[in-house]
Amino acid sequence: MKCKILTAFLSGVMILSPVIPIFAQSENSDAEWNNHPEIFQVNREPAHATLMPYDDVKSALDAEPEKSRHYKSLNGKWHFKWSKNPSERPVDFYRQDYNVSNWKKIEVPGNWQLQGYDYPIYTNITYPWTGYENPAPPKAPTVYNPVGSYKRTFTVPGSWKGEEIFISFQGVESAFYVWVNGQKVGYSEDSYTSKEFNITKYLKPGVNTLAVEVYRWSDGSWLEDQDFIRMSGIFRDVYLFSTPKIHMRDFRVRTDLDDNYQNANLNLKVNVKNYGKETAANYKVEAMVYDAHKKPVLNEPVSMDIQVPGKNETAVQAEQLVKNPLKWSAEHPNLYTLVLSLKDNTGKIVETESAKIGFREFELKNGQMHINGKPIVFKGVNRHETDPDRGRAITEESMIQDIKLMKKFNINAVRTSHYPNQTKWYELADQYGLYLIDEANVESHGVRDSLPASDPRWTGAVLDRVKSMVERDKNHPSVLIWSLGNEAGRGDNFKKMADWVRQADPTRIVHYEGDNRWTDVESHMYASVESVENYGKSGNKKPYILCEYAHAMGNSVGNLYKYWDVIEKYPNLQGGFIWDWVEQALRWPTPKKILVNDESKHELTGQLYGEIVEGIDGKAINGYVTLPNVPELNVTGKQLTLEAWVKPQPTNTHSPFITKGDTQFAIKQNNDRIEFFIYDRTASYPWIVAETKIPENWVGNWHKVAGVYDGHSLKLYIDGQLKAEKEYSGAIVGNNYPVNIGRNAENDRLSNAQIDHVRIYNRALSETELNDINRVPDENTVLWLDFDNYKEEEYAQKEYFAYGGDWGDRPNDGNFSANGLVSPDRTIQPELWEVKKVYQNIKIKPSDLKNGKVEIANNYLFTNLNEFEGKWTLKEDNTTLQKGSLGRMNIAPGQKKLVTLPIQKPNLKPGAEYWLDISFKLSKSTAWASKGHEVAKEQFKMPYNTPEGPALDPSTMPPLDIKETEQKVNVSGSDFQLVFDKVKGTISSFKYQEREMFKTGPVPNFWRSPNDNDKGNGMPNRTGTWRNAGRDMKVDDVKVTAVGNNAVQIDVDATLPTTTKSNYKVSYFIYGSGDIVVNNTLTPGKNLPEIPAVGMELMIPKEFENISWYGKGPQENYWDRNTGADVGVYRGTVDDQFFPYVEPQETGNKTDVRWVTLTDKNGTGLMAAGLPLLEVNALHYTEDQLESVKHPYELTKMDDIILNLNYKQMGVGGDNSWGARPHPEFTLYANKSYSYSYRLKPITREMSPMELSKQKINVK
């Protein structure tokens, strides 16, 4: 709360015009875009608030800029020419006589990479040009640095005669020059804020010519190393606007609430520019505030007299009391319209302007951030501007879709990571109610140790970027915090930015995670729960936020609630922003499926991602080949030969030729060196490398490379000559990654070379053999690829979501761009339901459930719970017994209340469970959701002492016929037949009424398809011993014991081939009723890694497509991500259980499952019931399939069904995706035994799985 003035206060300040740098003129100097960090604009207008002139108050109040007489859009089709680099660009295209009629046209706004030119590049930290060259900053790349030449014509409306005319570029990446009618107007950098030029003096009557030259990269690109898909072009609106000669060039609005947060002090500052020569005397600026119904709020306008000398600018200020306006918050985004009118000395309106304003106050108070006097908690997400079809040229409809989804899922805050967004986003955030951290376009991640740092060469550029953001967005009530950038290192330049921001806007606070010395809020990324709690415990008076946490890559966001248990515990912890909202991927045509055939004795088939090209003598590949992860290619020990012909292109990074991940063997290029390595994890430095520099004629020519290991040394050959040798006698150690040609599957590095004649041997070839051109495959050849023998097929799916590497971009960071809570097309991902639950603002806790007592807490800041309809339901299993309304409860913000529900204890049914569901829904429709939308819920299991269900007496069941041979046990009942395979230790056939229930019986399974977090923490390799442990188990003993005439017990004792052997015991109890009870116990061997899953896997016939379960749902859920899933009975199809993550991985799991059925259309099928609980997954894909492909379109859907009945699988994790593992409490450690049981039973439509599940069977 600053000054409180109850009457209008006026002041006027003359502002001198800024000094504008001139274009770089020296013949030998670099242009502005290259090697000139101190030149970031030429002849550009000063930044200002988003505004549009109107001619009258009504138009300003309507606030439709596109309908203003002063607005003319230049969006649409422009002539366009793409050039590979600056030296190839059409230098004189801006001239009026330069004919572009034969150029194709491109849509503006838009990224040219999505319109048939160039290609997207996705990298996280690595600068995108390093695949071609590696200039030192501040130099920009020149070898491959595409330039887009844009040209169009326009006419100036006749009504603009005598006015100043400007061109506004809302977003151009990364640097651009502007010419009008052949005359150079100006230059600018900074891709993400508005850039404007006064073009009045360059115009002529009639048709005018506009030319824009856009550089994909400039020296300014060193400050734009964000983790996003790199694209370029004019990707936001371009328009002309006119102003009178005397023009309100800028204005600033502040709302300062009194000590009671009731009345407001409206503080206005208006900058008036005189473009004429004569003094504008006795002019006046009037301000009026209007409510949502367009009614004036003030008794009379705020009036400010002003006098502006010619060619100058003057600022005038005023303050006015506004009595008890409706306050703005994300919960209640009350907006008013401010209309400014500039009048001349006769009282005639010269122009009007307007802005939506919100009366609110944001401040630091007692070590907390407060809004309108209440301590705020950010339940936030980070959000990139991205659209699968339009790239970063996103539409208003897409923004509204995002905001509505966010509001529906209890998200109240967004960090504009990592650049200022389109201006429309801020208007919508004001309108719908979101708190924003507005972030400057400053990220130098790849070189953050050296720039901007404290380097004075970059000071002007970073100050310009933060100024452009603050000046543009300063009037938006949704903006609470200014962020200086992201991952750009530390240094004095950030202090200078922070100092400027505080001086320019003392009503907001400063954020920058990279250097918290200069900030008002302590900000961290991906801190552990323990670290966050330690800060909370410290009592530090500097408020703390997680500007990034819960990395939502793929199937993720585990243990989210644990962060919030801590955040809600300590007042100095004020929330966090999940990384991130929407997955970055582009809708792309599905490529052809190209299969290449191995000519060794193994006759393997690989899949090519790329194209077939002409090779050294026949066909070659440009791309990479994945091969099956089979034992034949898992060459270990002390003998190995790798061989290929390669035609490399320039690179400054890794370019793999033949690899088995990064931890077994490879031959590759690494910058200017060729390397052949083997991996021996027992060595102090496990990579054993023979290496040499690349030959002088390396680039663009075919060369033969070979690596040989003979148990004594590694030898590296280039073009038949030994170039390097490294003595070593250790053994190659295996990993769990597949062999790839042209790619390293472990870290997703891609080759920049064409590749031909690939050979792998499990012996060491001599130099003579290597140079034998007549050599043919022999017994030791494990792979022989010449690429002449290939096959092309079409995929059924014609489009897919593409990510790094899919566009031939090298380097790239694969699918690391896909970290969203929603898919690229805004499909809700299952993890978002967990976010909604954790972020909900109504907390319901049990107090005395037996007597219907619950505590309801209102964690909203400004919303009484009487705005919602509360309801409760008491269920017996899935049957509603009682229900009632909580009405519209009067619980004030920040308060809680003990509520007694009028629950009548029911007659308890043996074996039943009783559930209390409480829900709060909107009592009326809002801008973002319809009446009845659920905002909060909770489920409690009622603590009734329910008697056990009825016991089944085996003695009353039909008798069994048991026949045992050396290899099989045949068990027959009255309506079923079962065959037990004693060799494999499982059921091989189970028929009920002559129908087969299994395709394959229960097989122990200790694996899951790795999710992105698993891959990031090394799980596939670290825990690889469990991958096939169940599949490859060795049966040591099978014991068959008849239990009377009505049951049989089959006990299996087996050994699992883990690194140290593990014991596995399973008992099958088969009853005359057709029930099968399975008890199993895993006893891991010593010193084994954690276990991805403990369970069993069955294959079920395809006709059993309909799935029902009684457990948590309906969305997939996991051990560490199931608070947002309630227990109930859910139904669907097996097809429905698969979620198409951008890169396929573990999906479809359900926890706390009591029973599950898979049935055909007639209701006949198989039931599995937990004794007491299971985790269940049913898919048309195997784990091997899910982890062997990069995109969903590559999956071949099986007809039959893979059913996993697990004790548990480990949590999905999510603290980060590059090393963090699931929390210990959600991990299956191998230092203990695991036992669990379940029941299998054929089922028909006439049977009730709920009733059957209550039956107890004494397996003793």
- Residue pLDDT, tens place only, 29-53: 579 999 999 999 999 999 999 999 9
How many of the other CB atoms lie within 10 Å of CB of 956?
9
C-alpha distances in angstroms, 127 versus 113, 443, 457, 753?
18, 11, 20, 20
CATH classification of the domain holding 606: 2.60.120.200
Give the 3-state secondary structure of residue 1178.
strand
Query: Is residue 812 domain-resident?
Result: no
Give the CATH number for residue 978. Answer: 2.70.98.10
What is the mean predicted confidence (pLDDT) over 554-583? Answer: 98
For 1006-1048, write each residue's pLDDT tens digit.
Answer: 999 999 999 999 999 999 999 999 999 999 999 999 999 999 9
Kindly state whether residues 1139 and 1247 are assigned to the same domain. yes
Q: Please tell me the distance from the alpha carbon of residue 839 to that of residue 49, in angstroms, as a whole number.
A: 33
pLDDT of 23 reads 58
Q: Are 696 and 776 in contact (CB under 8 A)?
A: no
Q: Is 25 within the bounds of a domain? A: no
Annotation says 994 is catalytic: no
User: Under a CB-based contact definition with an 8 Å cutoff, are residues 800 and 590 in contact?
Assistant: yes
For tokens 């694209």, the residue is 231
Task: Say what the pLDDT of residue 29 is.
Answer: 56
Decide which of 305, 334, 357 is a domain's last residue.
357
Match 């953001």 to its residue by tokens: 469
Q: In what order do the strands lie in the sheet with 362-365?
A: 362-365, 368-371, 374-375
Q: Measured between alpha carbons, how far apart are the two ends of the chain, in Å?
A: 75
CA atoms within 13 A on the CB side of 239: 17
- Give domain status of residue 695, yes or no: yes
Q: How confident is the model at residue 7 (pLDDT cuts 50, 70, 90)?
A: very low
Model confidence pLDDT, tens digit, residues 1169-1219: 999 999 999 999 999 999 999 999 999 999 999 999 999 999 999 999 999
Give the pLDDT of residue 607: 95
In DSSP notation, 689-716 reads EEEEEPPTT-TTS-EEEEEEE-SSEEEE
Among residues 753, 754, 756, 751, the alpha carbon closest in space to that of 655 is found at 751
* 949's tokens: 């269900």
28 domain residue, yes or no: no
Give the helix ranges, DSSP H, for 757-826.
Answer: 767-770
Angle at 1147 between CA 387 and CA 1056, to 5 degrees: 145
Assess whether 32 carries a catalytic annotation: no
d(CA 726, CA 731): 14
> How do residues 759-777 score in pLDDT, each as one tens digit?
999 999 999 999 999 999 9
* Residue tagged active-site, from 107, 363, 385, 487: 487
For the range 290-294, what are the long-range contacts, defined as Cβ-Cβ under 8 Å and sequence gap of 24 or more? Answer: 290/61, 290/336, 290/337, 290/338, 290/339, 291/326, 291/336, 292/334, 292/335, 292/336, 294/61, 294/337
Rounded to an integer, the average pLDDT of 232-244 is 98
Say which CATH number the domain at 866 has: 2.60.40.10
Look at the alpha carbons of 503, 509, 510, 516 in this order and tell me if their dihedral is positive or negative.
Answer: positive
Q: Are 1076 and 1069 in contact (CB under 8 A)?
A: yes
- The pLDDT score that the predictor gives to residue 539 is 96
- Among candidate residues 189, 213, 363, 548, the one labeled active-site is 548
Predicted model pTM: 0.95
Residue 1191's pLDDT is what? 97
Is there a single domain that holds both residue 1166 and residue 1028? yes
pLDDT for position 1259: 58
pLDDT tier for residue 11 given thresholds of 50, 70 and 90: very low
* Number of domain units in the chain: 6
Q: Do 226 and 256 lie in a common domain?
A: no
Q: What is the mean pLDDT of the chain?
A: 96
List of residues 6+ apart from 530 with CB closer than 8 A = none
**Average pLDDT, stretch 661-677?**
96
In this structure, the answer to whether residues 769 and 719 fall within a common structural domain is yes
Residue 2 has pLDDT above 70, yes or no: no
Residue 249, Cβ neighbours under 10 Å: how many? 22
pLDDT band at 24 (very low <50, low <70, confident <90, very high): low
Distance CA 695, CA 718 (A): 9
Q: Is residue 512 part of a domain?
A: yes
Count of beta carbons in the 10 Å neighbourhood of residue 347: 9
Q: Are residues 359 and 327 in contact, defined by beta-carbon separation less than 8 angstroms? A: yes
Q: Give pLDDT, residue 684.
A: 87
Q: Do both 86 and 60 map to the same domain? A: yes
CB 575, CB 379: distance < 8 Å: yes
**Both structure tokens of 1037:** 């003993």
Answer with the one of 305, 332, 357 that is the final residue of a domain.
Answer: 357
Model confidence at 18: pLDDT above 50: no
Q: Report helix, strand or coil for 534.
A: helix
Q: Specify if 3 maps to a domain.
A: no
In this prediction, residue 6 carries a pLDDT of 29
Report the C-alpha gap between 688 and 686 in whole angstroms: 6
465 is in which domain, residue-wise?
363-582
Is 1254 a residue whose pLDDT tops 60?
yes
Task: Judge if 858 and 935 occupy the same domain.
Answer: yes
- The residues, any chain, with a CB within 8 Å of residue 325's CB and separated by 6 or more, are 264, 297, 334, 336, 359
Q: Whats the size of the chain, residue-wise?
A: 1260
The pLDDT value recorded for residue 8 is 37
Give the mean model confidence (pLDDT) for residues 846-872: 97
pLDDT beyond 80 at 19: no
pLDDT at 231 exceeding the cut of 70: yes
Give the separation between CA 630 and CA 476, rounded to whole angstroms.
Answer: 59
392 in a domain, yes or no? Answer: yes
Sign of CA dihedral 1245, 1249, 1255, 1256: positive
Structure tokens belonging to residue 288: 């009026």
Task: Kindly state the average pLDDT of the residues 887-896.
Answer: 95
Residues 191, 83 share a domain: yes
How far is it, in rounded angstroms, from Cα 182 to Cα 195?
20
Q: Parallel, antiparallel, or unpaired for β 378-382 and 413-415?
A: parallel
Q: Given this model, what pLDDT does residue 25 score? A: 41
Q: Is 879 exposed, middle or buried (0-12, 13-18, 19+ CB in 10 A)?
A: exposed
> What is the C-alpha separation between 647 and 543, in angstroms, rounded?
56
Give the model's pLDDT for residue 810: 87
CB 1137 within 8 A of CB 1108: no
Query: Looking at the structure, do residues 192 and 252 belong to the same domain, yes or no?
Result: no
Whole-number Cα distances in Å, 721 to 702, 705, 758, 1259: 15, 9, 18, 71
Write down which residue in 243, 272, 295 finishes a domain.
Answer: 243
Q: How confident is the model at residue 980 (pLDDT cuts 50, 70, 90)?
A: very high
pLDDT band at 811 (very low <50, low <70, confident <90, very high): confident
- Band of residue 397 on the pLDDT scale cut at 50, 70, 90: very high
Alpha-carbon span 717 to 136, nearest angstrom: 33
Residues 6+ apart with CB under 8 A from 62: none
Task: Judge whether 192 lies within some domain.
Answer: yes
- Segment 549-567 shows an average pLDDT of 98
CATH at residue 228: 2.60.120.260
Residues 561 and 605 in one domain: no
**How big is the chain by its Cα radius of gyration, in Å?**
35
Q: Please, which pLDDT band fits residue 183 given cuts at 50, 70 and 90?
A: very high
On whether both 348 and 377 belong to a single domain, the answer is no
Both structure tokens of 177 = 């020059």
Provide the 3-class DSSP secondary structure of residue 1188: helix
Residues 251 and 234 in one domain: no
Q: Could you tell me which of 999, 1028, 984 has the C-alpha nearest to residue 1187?
A: 1028
CA distances (Å), 749 to each of 60, 123, 685, 804, 805, in order? Answer: 55, 11, 21, 10, 9
Q: In degrees rounded to 5, what are phi and psi of residue 454?
A: -115, 20
Residues 235, 151 within the same domain? yes
pLDDT at 650: 87
